[in-house]
Amino acid sequence: MSYVKGLKCRICGTPYQVDPLAICEECFGPLEVDYDYDAIKVKLTKEEIASRPGTMWRYKELLPLDGEPTVGLHSGGTPLVKADRLARAIGVRELYIKNDAVSHPTLSFKDRVVAVALSKAREFGFDAVGCASTGNLANSVAANASAAGIPAYILIPDNLERSKVLGTRIFGANVVPVRGNYDDVNRLCSEIAGRYRIAFVNVNLRPFYGEGSKTFGYEIAEQLGWQLPDAVVVPMAGGSLITKIHKAFKDLEKIGFVEPAEPRFFGAQATGCNPIAAAVKAGTRDITPVKPDTIAKSLAIGNPADGYFATGVITETGGWSEDVSDPEIVEAIHVLAETEGIFTETAGGVTLAVTRKLISQGRLNTNSRVVLAITGNGLKTQDALSLVDLQPIEPHLSAFEKLIAGEAKKLAA
């Protein structure tokens, strides 16, 4: 059933066979999966897709497996929420939230990339998997590996949120905190992958991992009735997701599912780790690595692997990239929760806070259809919030009435 032609270097175009390989031997550029779009266009119909279960695998012809998926069968299919109250609050005509805060099984969009990467790792015959993670990837690799019965080696920076560490260890994986930041962890994983037969989903399996993110984009288009939005705002860590949503929209044009359009891509980062936003603002595609220092730990990648391509997508589509402070991130988490009832993690706070900033700068057209990528769940980053302790009342009606004194008339039966 595979429509994969092979791997191809994103810089020099050199073709490769399908192998657990991520880097071009000619130019050190990243490899990506290349498909036979003409064949897919002939074979695949919207009706066929509509007849399938509401998971990410309904787009399997556009994913890089040879056979049926074996890991993460229930991932994807998250809601696209029309966010009218938030739209009024920030002044946008038509606003949607693609809500991967409720992703199965680990409450972030990383479930999509892991479903593809681990299914592919099995096709390649790996007996062990792993990842370098800023938290959510660790959760998802650990959960999916345990469900598949594959041993996992998960390397994380030693300063991650408690909930993210707990939400990894619970699955019984080998969790290895490393003294250092994500970039140190990632380098170590590359060395390990060079010596041991471990499928590191975002290192040696990176080309396949990235393809899973495309389903976030396919779903947006299908949920809009096979139309593309005018703009998307996407949080960036390594810069992969934003480029893959772009690829997803292009894929759908190539197979004739959507009218050609030019959605603008806006990239969101925290000021404490803004290498991609800084490059966009400086008008360059060359990334200057930074040392991360922000509460948005899931986005704390100082040397983003796909930074060059993320800046390309942002500038070529007429978008922009901004960054926001930690207090702005926290404030935005509250705004999203109080307007739409959606509790996102710090990365989602980054997305919404950057959206507000882009609006105030006049860079995001408010008279358009905008989608915000909400990629993770707020219960995982409670450390970032500080709500004052509530005072208990006595179990008497009078105590409750004292509390609602101002509202009592309105609420009276």
Ligand X SMILES: *Cc1c(COP(=O)(O)O)cnc(C)c1O
CB 189 within 8 A of CB 157: no
The H or E element that residue 59 is part of is none
Say if residues 339 and 83 touch (Cβ distance below 8 Å): yes
Is residue 302 within the footprint of ligand X (CB under 6 A)? no
Nearest CA to 116 among 192, 222, 2, 30? 2
* Cα–Cα distance list, 147 to 69, 74, 126, 205, 344 (Å): 14, 12, 16, 20, 25
Choose the binding region for ligand X from 230-238, 254-262, 281-289, 401-409 (rule: CB under 6 A): 230-238
Q: Which does 298 bind (CB under 5 to 8 A by kind): ligand X, Zn ion, none?
A: ligand X
Q: Name the token pair of 141.
A: 């690799």
Least distance CB 31 / Zn ion (angstroms) = 8
By beta-carbon proximity to Zn ion, the closer residue of 26 and 127 is: 26
* Shortest distance in whole angstroms from residue 265 CB to Zn ion: 24
Q: Give 19 or 38: the residue with its C-beta nearer to Zn ion.
A: 19
**How many angstroms separate the Cα of 84 from the Cα of each of 91, 130, 173, 358, 367?**
10, 40, 41, 19, 14
Q: How far is the CB of 29 from Zn ion (least distance, A)?
A: 4
* Nearest one of 92, 330, 329, 130 to 231, comparing CA atoms: 92
Smaller CB distance to ligand X: residue 222 or 345?
A: 345
* 207 or 235: CB nearest ligand X: 235
DSSP code at position 257: S
Taking CB under 6 A as the rule, does residue 55 contact ligand X?
Answer: no
Q: Residue 340 class from Cβ within 10 Å (0-12 exposed, 13-18 middle, 19+ buried)?
A: buried
Binding site partner of 27, from ligand X, Zn ion, none, Cβ cut-off 5-8 A by kind: Zn ion
Q: Which residues contact 182 (CB under 8 A, 6 or more apart)?
A: 132, 133, 134, 157, 292, 300, 301, 302
Q: 111 vs 306, which CB is nearer to Zn ion?
A: 306
Q: How far apart are CA 4 and CA 17, in angstroms?
A: 10
In the range 138-167, which residues lie near ligand X by CB under 6 A?
Answer: none
Tell me which residues in 75-114 interact with ligand X (CB under 6 A). 108, 110
Residue 144, contacted partner among Zn ion, ligand X, none, CB below 5-8 A by kind:
none
* Continuous segment of H or E residues that includes residue 201: none
Rounded to the nearest whole angstrom, what is the least distance from the CB of residue 348 to ligand X in the complex? Answer: 7
Choose the contact partner of 68 out of ligand X, Zn ion, none; CB within 5 to 8 A by kind: none
The site string for ligand X over 374-403 (x = CB under 6 A, - otherwise) reads -xx---------------------------
Number of residues that bind Zn ion (CB under 5 A): 8
User: Nearest-CA neighbor of 361 among 399, 321, 317, 389?
Assistant: 321
Please identify which residue in 75, 136, 204, 294 interacts with ligand X, judged by CB under 6 A: 136
Q: How far is the CB of 105 from Zn ion (least distance, A)?
A: 36
Distance from C-alpha of 373 to C-alpha of 325, rounded to nearest angstrom: 19
Binding partner of residue 375 among Zn ion, ligand X, none, CB cut-off 5 to 8 Å per kind: ligand X
- For the bound state, the minimum distance from the C-beta of residue 240 to ligand X, rounded and expressed in Å, comes to 3
The stretch among 61-69, 235-243, 287-295, 389-397 that binds ligand X (CB under 6 A) is 235-243
Contact pick of 4, 22, 24, 114 for Zn ion (by CB under 5 A): 24
**Interface residues for Zn ion in 27-46 (CB under 5 A)?**
27, 29
Cβ-contact 233, 358 below 8 angstroms: yes
Strands of 168-324, DSSP E: 174-178, 199-200, 231-235, 264-270, 321-324
Site residues (vs ligand X, CB under 6 A):
108, 110, 136, 235-241, 298-299, 345, 347, 375-376
